[in-house]
Amino acid sequence: MEKLIITACLTGAEVTREQQPNLPITPDEIAEAAYECCIAGASIVHIHARDKEGNPTQDYEVYKEIKEKTEARCNIIFQPSTGGAVWHTPQQRMQPIELKPEMATLSMGTCNFGDDVFTNTEENIRIFAKRMNELKVKPELECFEKGMVDTCIRFAKQGIIKTPMHFDFVLGVPGAMGGELRDLLYMVESIPKGSTWTVAGVGRHQLTLNTAAIMLGGHARTGFEDNIYYKKGELAKSNAQLVERVARLSKELGREVATPDEARIILELKK
């Protein structure tokens, strides 16, 4: 079994300091959290930027500052979000792609997201994918339910998305697919051979699905974007604390954790 890739999702677009006092918000805080997660065992850092007031932003300059400060600290793979917040326009959401990161997320369909709607039309997905291809940015294909996997496969046949594909199953979002083990197995069994995958379990599903990913040969995402607790009723002290737990579990189960450069080989990235 290949080594485990751990992705640290540090901030997200919804979590606030009131909910999680240790949430990194400024570029310096996010870069420092990325460094701590890299030391703890993460090889990818998934980034949502915040403005000076702490609100979600897709501003190019803010992402640029975070990227530069992160790369000055460590060799971790910088993966910006193109999902942003549900109210960002497609044009706003695309801005971080212009930094030419090694990877960026690409959400593969529309779904309910709590009380909101996360809109991703096929036209916009094509526009995002085309620009990623032009800039040689590998998309992490965010799938919130099985129909989005089918869209990935269809787009790959059309040449819109390049293979081998790398999927991120985002499970447990209210309004989308659940986060039970059967849900993960269904998604894993639905992707083409030769693909790689990671799973992001939201809330109480995070630890269970992280552990399942280790055992199934997939990869794991952890961090405050998906879950702010270390255990029921106890807030996590840092993103790194959550990463350390996944790395420790993986080693206990006999699976080594990938370094950033080893993750680049597994995902066929070109730095």
Going from N- to C-terminal start, the domains of the chain cover: 6-267
Tell me, what's the pLDDT at 271? 52
Tell me, what's the pLDDT at 114? 86
Tell me, what's the pLDDT at 159? 97
Strand ranges (DSSP E) for the chain?
6-9, 44-47, 49-50, 56-57, 77-80, 103-107, 111-113, 116-118, 138-143, 166-171, 196-201, 219-222, 229-231, 234-235
- Model confidence pLDDT, tens digit, residues 116-154: 999 999 999 999 999 999 999 999 999 999 999 999 999
- Model confidence pLDDT, tens digit, residues 5-42: 999 999 999 999 999 999 999 999 999 999 999 999 99
Tokens, residue 98? 């212009």
157 pLDDT exceeds 80?
Answer: yes
Mean pLDDT across 72-94: 96
Tell me, what's the pLDDT at 94? 97
Output the CA–CA distances (angstroms, integers) from residue 221 to 18, 67, 154, 158, 251, in the order listed: 23, 19, 26, 29, 16
270 pLDDT exceeds 80?
Answer: no
Mean pLDDT taken over the chain: 97
Percent of the chain with pLDDT over 70: 99
Is residue 198 classed exposed, middle or buried when 0-12, 13-18 and 19+ CB atoms within 10 A define those classes? buried
CA distance 245 to 210: 10
State pTM to two decimals: 0.97
Tell me, what's the pLDDT at 182? 98
110 pLDDT exceeds 60?
Answer: yes
Q: Which fold has domain 6-267?
A: TIM Barrel (3.20.20)
CB atoms within 10 A of CB 260: 20
- Cβ atoms of 187 and 149 within 8 Å: the answer is yes
Tell me, what's the pLDDT at 171? 98
End-to-end Cα separation, the chain, in angstroms = 24
